[in-house]
C-alpha cells in the first residue's frame, strides 16, 4: 500500500489541492516518522536537531483557514538547515557556542518558505558553521546515509539529505559554499541542486562577502528540486548579486526538451591530488554513455581552473570561517571544534588587503574558467572521489590540517562551481556493489538553471531512480 511519504513532494501538494489530505495531517505523518526513525530512535539518522512544534502548530492552524495557495508545494512539509535563522526556533549553527540561541527574526529563506505556504518541521543537522564536508557536530549525533548508517551523509547539508533520503520530509533546504548540497546528495542518493550565484537572496545578514555560498534544494526527484527552487528563488532589494529572471517556472523547465547539447567533461581532480574510486569512475563513464545515447555531444576538456586557484580559495574559506567565530566572547570561543579553531586562526592571520587581493584573484580565475567553458551547454564530472566514507573517517580533531586535506581529496570537483557561480546538480545515477549511492555532477552557464533542469529531467526519465528506497523506508 502506498503511504504518504512514498509520494513525491509535488504529489503530496496535489493531494492537498484535492482536499484528500490536510497540511496538518501531512505534518503529523512526518513528525511520527522523525520520532521513530531519528530523534526518538536508538540509532538516529542525525537528520534533525530541533523540532519546531509551536511553529508547526501555528502554521497548520493558519493554513487550515486560508484558501489553498497556487504554489504546487503549498502545505507540504519541509525543513530548514540549522545555519539559517528562523524566528522563535533554536538555531545553533552546528556549534556548542550557540546551543541556546533563539533568533528574533527569520532570514529570507524562512520567509520564502512561509510565503509559499510550506511548513518547516524544524532545523536539520549541520557541522559547525557549515565548514566541513561531513556532518559530525558536537551538538548532535552524526548525520548518516540511510543506505548504510555506518557511513556519512556528507555535509554540510548532511541532516537535510538524511531527512529527505529516509522519508522524514519530501524536500529540504540546503546551502552550498563548496559543495555542501551536492556532497550529501551524492552520499544519500538524492538530487542536490546548487543554483546560480544570486538566484536566491542571502539577506538580511549577507554573511558571505565572497559570493561562494547559496541556498538550494535537496529532493528525491528533479521536478521536486525544481519546484522547491521556485519557492526559494527571487531577488530582494539590497542583494549584492542577482540572476536574470527565468522565462518560465523552474518546474515548467523540467518539461522542456533540451535539444542536442554540447557537453564538456573532465575527471581530473581540481583541488587535490585525489585517487578516483572505481565506482565513481563507473558512474562518470556511465553518465557519459547515457548522455551520448540521448543525442548529446560529449567532449573531453582540460580542467578549467588552475591549481594556483586552490590556495586563493582556501584563504577566502578560512576568512569566512573566522567571520563566524570572531564576534564570540572568549568563553564561547573555547567551545568551538579543533577544525573550526584551526581555520579561524588561518583566517584571522589574513590582513584586509590580502583578503581583498584574494577575492580579486578568485574573480579572475573564475572568469578564465567561464571563458574556457563558454562554448559548452553543460559540464560533466563525478560529484565525489569516493562513495560515502565511514563516520569519523575524514574527521581528525588531533590534526585539523590532515582533516582539511582529507576533505579536499574526497571533494575535488564541487567547489569549482562555487568559484564560478555556475548552477550545478548532483544526480543519483549509480549505486556501488555494496549498495552505497554515487552521484554524478552536471553544471551549466551562470543563469541557465532552466537548461540544467531540462537536461537533468531528461536524464532522470531515461534512467529513473525514484523506485529505489533505503533500508528501513
Active site residues: 81, 156, 180
Report in angstroms the alpha-carbon separations of 275 from 91, 270, 372.
Answer: 37, 12, 25
Tell me how many degrees the CA angle 276-278-282 measures, rounded to the nearest 5.
110
Contacts of 384 (CB under 8 A, 6+ apart): 183, 186, 187, 280, 410, 411, 413, 414, 438, 439
Give start and end residues of each alpha helix (H) in 262-399: 278-293, 309-325, 330-333, 338-348, 352-373
CA distance 353 to 355: 5
User: How many Å separate Cα 372 from the centre of its chain?
Assistant: 26
CA distance 223 to 216: 14
Least Cα distance to 139 among 156, 127, 155, 157 occurs for: 127
CA distance 343 to 327: 15
CA distance 154 to 158: 5
| Contact by Cβ (8 Å): 272, 412 | yes
**Beta-strand relationship, 378-382 and 297-300:** unpaired
Least Cα distance to 117 among 47, 51, 26, 194 occurs for: 26
CA distance 394 to 410: 9
User: What is the length of the chain?
Assistant: 473
CA distance 116 to 467: 28
Report in angstroms the alpha-carbon separations of 232 from 197, 236, 310.
Answer: 13, 11, 30
Q: How many of the other CB atoms lie within 10 Å of CB of 448?
A: 21
Residue that is written with C-alpha cell 557556542 in the block = 97
| Contact by Cβ (8 Å): 294, 458 | yes
Mapping DSSP to helix (H, G, I), strand (E, B) and coil, where does residue 80 land?
strand
Handedness of CA 124, 127, 133, 136 (dihedral sign): negative
| Contact by Cβ (8 Å): 9, 227 | yes
Least Cα distance to 181 among 148, 138, 228, 140 occurs for: 228
CA distance 425 to 441: 6
Amino acid at each position: 500500500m502506498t503511504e504518504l511519504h512514498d509520494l513525491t513532494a509535488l504529489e503530496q501538494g496535489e493531494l492537498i489541492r484535492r482536499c484528500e489530505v490536510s497540511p496538518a495531517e501531512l505534518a503529523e505523518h512526518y513528525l511520527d516518522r522523525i520520532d521513530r526513525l531519528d530523534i526518538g530512535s536508538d540509532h538516529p539518522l542525525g537528520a534533525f536537531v530541533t523540532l519546531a512544534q509551536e511553529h508547526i502548530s501555528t502554521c497548520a492552524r493558519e493554513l487550515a483557514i486560508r484558501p489553498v495557495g497556487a504554489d504546487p508545494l503549498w502545505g507540504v512539509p519541509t525543513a530548514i538547515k540549522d545555519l539559517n535563522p528562523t524566528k522563535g526556533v533554536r538555531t545553533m549553527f552546528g556549534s556548542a557556542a550557540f546551543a541556546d540561541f533563539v533568533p528574533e527574526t527569520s532570514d529570507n529563506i524562512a520567509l520564502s518558505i512561509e510565503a509559499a505556504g510550506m511548513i518547516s518541521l524544524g532545523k536539520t543537522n549541520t557541522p559547525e558553521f557549515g565548514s566541513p564536508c561531513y556532518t559530525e557536530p558536537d551538538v548532535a549525533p552524526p548525520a548518516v546515509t540511510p543506505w548504510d548508517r555506518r557511513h556519512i551523509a556528507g555535509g554540510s547539508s548532511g541532516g537535510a539529505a538524511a531527512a529527505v533520503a529516509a522519508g522524514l520530509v519530501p524536500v529540504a533546504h540546503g546551502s552550498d559554499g563548496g559543495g555542501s548540497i551536492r556532497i550529501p546528495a551524492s552520499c544519500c542518493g538524492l538530487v542536490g541542486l546548487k543554483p546560480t550565484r544570486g538566484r536566491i537572496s542571502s539577506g538580511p545578514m549577507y554573511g558571505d562577502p565572497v559570493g561562494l555560498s547559496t541556498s538550494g534544494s535537496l529532493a528525491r526527484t528533479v521536478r521536486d528540486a525544481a519546484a522547491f527552487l521556485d519557492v526559494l528563488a527571487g531577488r530582494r532589494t539590497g542583494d549584492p548579486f542577482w540572476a536574470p529572471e527565468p522565462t518560465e517556472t523552474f518546474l515548467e523547465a523540467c518539461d522542456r526538451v533540451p535539444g542536442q547539447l554540447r557537453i564538456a567533461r573532465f575527471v581530473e581532480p581540481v583541488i587535490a591530488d585525489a585517487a578516483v574510486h572505481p565506482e565513481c569512475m563507473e558512474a562518470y563513464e556511465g553518465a557519459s554513455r547515457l548522455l551520448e545515447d540521448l543525442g548529446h555531444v560529449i567532449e573531453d576538456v582540460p580542467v578549467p581552473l588552475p591549481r594556483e586557484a586552490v590556495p586563493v580559495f582556501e584563504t577566502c574559506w578560512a576568512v569566512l570561517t573566522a567571520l563566524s567565530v570572531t564576534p564570540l566572547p572568549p568563553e564561547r570561543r573555547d567551545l568551538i571544534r579543533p577544525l573550526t579553531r584551526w581555520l579561524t586562526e588561518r583566517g584571522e592571520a589574513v590582513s584586509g588587503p590580502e583578503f581583498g587581493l584574494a577575492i580579486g584573484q578568485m574573480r579572475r580565475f573564475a572568469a578564465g574558467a567561464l571563458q574556457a567553458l563558454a562554448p559548452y551547454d553543460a559540464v560533466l564530472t563525478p560529484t565525489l572521489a569516493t562513495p560515502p566514507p565511514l563516520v569519523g573517517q575524514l574527521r581528525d580533531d588531533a590534526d585539523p590540517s590532515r582533516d582539511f586535506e582529507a576533505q579536499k581529496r574526497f571533494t575535488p570537483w564541487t567547489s569549482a562551481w562555487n568559484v564560478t557561480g555556475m548552477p550545478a546538480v548532483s544526480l543519483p545515477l549509480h549505486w556501488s556493489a555494496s549498495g552505497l549511492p554515487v552521484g554524478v555532477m552536471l553544471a551549466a552557464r551562470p543563469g541557465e538553471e532552466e537548461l540544467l533542469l531540462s537536461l537533468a529531467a531528461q536524464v532522470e526519465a531515461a534512467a529513473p531512480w525514484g523506485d529505489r528506497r533505503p533500508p528501513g523506508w
